[in-house]
Structure 1
Amino acid sequence: MKDNIIQRLEALRQAMRTRGIDLTIISHVDPHQSEYMADHWHLREYLSGFNGSAGTLVVSLDDAKLWTDSRYFLQAAQQLDETGITLMKDGLAITPSITDYIRTTLPSGSTVGIDGMLFSINSERDLKEKLGEVGINLVTDFTPADEVWANRPPLPSDKAFIHDMKYAGESTRDKIGKILARVKEAGADAILISALDEIAWALNLRGKDVAYNPVVTSFLYLGKTGSTLFIDDVKVTDSVREYLAGNDISIAPYNSVLKFASALPLTTKVLVDPGLSSSALVTALGKRILLGRSPIPLLKGIRNDVQIEGLHRAMLRDGIALVRSFMEIEETLSQGKRLTETGVCKILTRNRSLQPDYFDDSFGTIAGYKGHGAIVHYEPTEESDAEIYPDGLLLVDSGAQYLDGTTDITRTVSLGNPTADERHDFTLVLKGCIALASAVFPEGTCGVQLDILAHQYLWKEGKTYLHGTGHGVGSFLNVHEGPQSFRNRIDHLTTVPFAPGMVTSDEPGLYVTDKYGIRCENMILTVVDRETEFGRFLRFDTVTLFPFDINLIETSMFNDDEIKWINEYHKKVYDLLTPSLNEKETAWLAAKTQPISRK
Structure 2
Amino acid sequence: MQYDERIKLLREQMRARNIDFYLIPTADDHASEYISDFYKVRNYYAGFTGSAGTLLIGKDMAGLWTDGRYFIQAENQLKGSSVKLFRMGSQGVPTIAEYLEEHLPEGGSIGFDGQVVDLSQGRIYEEIASKKGGSIFWNEDIAGNLWQERPERASAPVYILEEKYAGKSRRQKLEELRSYMKKEGGSRALVASLEDIAWLLNLRGDDVKHTPVFLAFILVEPDRVRLYADVSAFSENIRKALGEDGVELKDYMDVYKDLEAVEDGSLMYDPSKVNYALSQCVQDSVSVIKTDNNYLLPKSIKNEVELENLKRVHVKDGVAMTKFMYWLKKNVGNMPITEISASDYLGELRSKIDTYLDLSFDTIAGYKEHAAMMHYSATPETDVLLKPEGMFLVDSGGQYYEGTTDITRTFVLGPISDEEKKHFTLVAKSVLNLANAKFLYGCTGYNLDILARGPLWNIGIDYQCGTGHGVGYLLSVHEAPNGFRWKRVPERNDAAVLEAGMVTTDEPGVYIEGSHGIRTENELICVEDEKNQYGQFMRFEMLTWAPIDLDGIDTKWLNPEDIRQLNTYHEMVYEKISPYLDEEEKSWLRHYTRPID
TM range (shorter): over 0.9
Amino acid at match of 1:522: N
Does the CA-based 8 Å contact 2:108-2:132 persist in structure 1? no
| In the alignment, structure 1 residue 280 sits paired with structure 2 residue 277 | yes
1:473 — aligned with what? 471
Could you say what secondary structure the match of 1:117 adopts? coil
Could you say what secondary structure the match of 2:248 adopts? strand
2:291 — aligned with what? 292
2-side partners of 1:296 and 1:167: how far apart?
Answer: 22
Given candidates 192, 200, 203, the residue that maps to 1:202 is 200
2-side partners of 1:469 and 1:188: how far apart?
Answer: 36
Structure 2 portions without partners, runs of 5+: none
* Deviation for aligned residue 1:63: 2.2
Could you say what secondary structure the match of 2:98 adopts? helix
Amino acid at match of 2:573: V
Could you say what secondary structure the match of 2:322 adopts? helix
1:498 — aligned with what? 498
2:453 — aligned with what? 455
Q: Could you give the per-residue CA deviations for residues 95-138 of structure 1, whole angstroms, max 9, x where no partner exists?
A: 11112222323321222211111111111101211232133421
Could you say what secondary structure the match of 1:299 adopts? coil
Amino acid at match of 2:419: D
Amino acid at match of 2:536: R
Does the CA-based 8 Å contact 1:229-1:251 persist in structure 2? yes
* Deviation for aligned residue 1:328: 2.4
Amino acid at match of 1:593: T
1:253 — aligned with what? 251
Which stretch of structure 1 is more off in the superposition, 269-278 or 427-436? 427-436
Amino acid at match of 1:532: N
* Deviation for aligned residue 1:201: 0.4
Given candidates 232, 237, 240, the residue that maps to 2:238 is 240
Does the CA-based 8 Å contact 2:322-2:547 persist in structure 1? no
* Deviation for aligned residue 1:537: 1.0
Amino acid at match of 2:242: L
Amino acid at match of 2:60: D
1:404 — aligned with what? 402
2:23 — aligned with what? 25
Amino acid at match of 1:540: F
Amino acid at match of 2:244: G
Structure 1 portions without partners, runs of 5+: none
1:507 — aligned with what? 507
* Deviation for aligned residue 1:385: 1.7
Which stretch of structure 1 is more off in the superposition, 515-524 or 421-430? 421-430
* Deviation for aligned residue 1:146: 4.5
Does the CA-based 8 Å contact 2:294-2:481 persist in structure 1? no
Q: How does 1:66-85 map to 2 (within 5 A)?
A: 66-85=64-83
Amino acid at match of 2:197: I
1:573 — aligned with what? 573
Does the CA-based 8 Å contact 1:48-1:85 persist in structure 2? yes
Does the CA-based 8 Å contact 1:302-1:500 persist in structure 2? yes
1:338 — aligned with what? 336
Q: Could you give the per-residue CA deviations for residues 471-517 of structure 1, whole angstroms, max 9, x where no partner exists?
A: 11111111000121111123664431111111100011111111011
Amino acid at match of 2:522: N
Amino acid at match of 2:210: Y
Does the CA-based 8 Å contact 1:198-1:296 persist in structure 2? no
Q: How does 1:330-369 map to 2 (within 5 A)?
A: 330-335=329-334, 337-369=335-367
Given candidates 166, 169, 179, the residue that maps to 2:167 is 169
1-side partners of 2:589 and 2:253: how far apart?
Answer: 53
Q: Could you give the per-residue CA deviations for residues 149-170 of structure 1, whole angstroms, max 9, x where no partner exists?
A: 1111111121101101110010
Does the CA-based 8 Å contact 1:99-1:131 persist in structure 2? no
2-side partners of 1:444 and 1:574: how far apart?
Answer: 34
1:102 — aligned with what? 100
* Deviation for aligned residue 1:403: 0.7
Which stretch of structure 1 is more off in the superposition, 299-308 or 319-328? 319-328
Does the CA-based 8 Å contact 1:198-1:297 persist in structure 2? no
Q: Could you give the per-residue CA deviations for residues 68-105 of structure 1, whole angstroms, max 9, x where no partner exists?
A: 11110110011111121111111112211112222323
2-side partners of 1:558 and 1:411: how far apart?
Answer: 19
Does the CA-based 8 Å contact 1:298-1:483 persist in structure 2? no
Given candidates 127, 130, 133, the residue that maps to 1:132 is 130
2-side partners of 1:385 and 1:271: how far apart?
Answer: 49
| In the alignment, structure 1 residue 528 sits paired with structure 2 residue 525 | no
Amino acid at match of 1:281: L
* Deviation for aligned residue 1:383: 2.4
Amino acid at match of 2:570: H
* Deviation for aligned residue 1:259: 0.6
Could you say what secondary structure the match of 2:460 adopts? coil
Could you say what secondary structure the match of 2:23 adopts? strand
Amino acid at match of 1:270: L
Amino acid at match of 1:584: E
1-side partners of 2:113 and 2:557: how far apart?
Answer: 53
2-side partners of 1:165 and 1:385: how far apart?
Answer: 42
Could you say what secondary structure the match of 2:411 adopts? strand
1:212 — aligned with what? 210
2-side partners of 1:249 and 1:36: how far apart?
Answer: 26
2-side partners of 1:298 and 1:217: how far apart?
Answer: 18
RMSD between aligned alpha carbons?
Answer: 1.4
Amino acid at match of 2:594: Q
Could you say what secondary structure the match of 2:274 adopts? coil
1:149 — aligned with what? 147
* Deviation for aligned residue 1:296: 5.0
* Deviation for aligned residue 1:279: 1.1
1:311 — aligned with what? 310
2-side partners of 1:11 and 1:387: how far apart?
Answer: 41
Amino acid at match of 2:432: I
2:384 — aligned with what? 386
Shift of the 307–297 alpha-carbon distance from structure 1 to 2, 3 Å rule, reads farther
**TM-score scaled by structure 1?**
0.97
Shift of the 296–153 alpha-carbon distance from structure 1 to 2, 3 Å rule, reads farther
2-side partners of 1:298 and 1:117: how far apart?
Answer: 23
Does the CA-based 8 Å contact 2:325-2:411 persist in structure 1? no
2:547 — aligned with what? 547
Amino acid at match of 2:114: G
2-side partners of 1:292 and 1:578: how far apart?
Answer: 47
1-side partners of 2:400 and 2:588: how far apart?
Answer: 25
Could you say what secondary structure the match of 1:62 adopts? coil
Q: How many residues align?
A: 593
2-side partners of 1:464 and 1:506: how far apart?
Answer: 15
2-side partners of 1:281 and 1:225: how far apart?
Answer: 22
2-side partners of 1:81 and 1:343: how far apart?
Answer: 28
1-side partners of 2:39 and 2:21: how far apart?
Answer: 20
Does the CA-based 8 Å contact 2:41-2:144 persist in structure 1? no
Does the CA-based 8 Å contact 2:294-2:300 persist in structure 1? no
Could you say what secondary structure the match of 1:25 adopts? strand
2-side partners of 1:504 and 1:77: how far apart?
Answer: 30
Does the CA-based 8 Å contact 1:111-1:137 persist in structure 2? yes
Amino acid at match of 2:445: G
2-side partners of 1:35 and 1:560: how far apart?
Answer: 41
Does the CA-based 8 Å contact 1:413-1:549 persist in structure 2? yes
Q: Could you give the per-residue CA deviations for residues 270-326 of structure 1, whole angstroms, max 9, x where no partner exists?
A: 101001110112211133232221245762111111111110111111011112222
Shift of the 177–295 alpha-carbon distance from structure 1 to 2, 3 Å rule, reads farther
Could you say what secondary structure the match of 2:524 adopts? strand
2:89 — aligned with what? 91
* Deviation for aligned residue 1:232: 0.8
Which stretch of structure 1 is more off in the superposition, 68-77 or 5-14? 5-14
2-side partners of 1:103 and 1:533: how far apart?
Answer: 51
1-side partners of 2:455 and 2:369: how far apart?
Answer: 23
2-side partners of 1:303 and 1:398: how far apart?
Answer: 22
1-side partners of 2:133 and 2:75: how far apart?
Answer: 33
**TM-score scaled by structure 2?**
0.97
Given candidates 49, 52, 56, the residue that maps to 2:50 is 52
1-side partners of 2:131 and 2:384: how far apart?
Answer: 49
Could you say what secondary structure the match of 2:218 adopts? strand
1-side partners of 2:175 and 2:355: how far apart?
Answer: 29
1:516 — aligned with what? 516
2:228 — aligned with what? 230
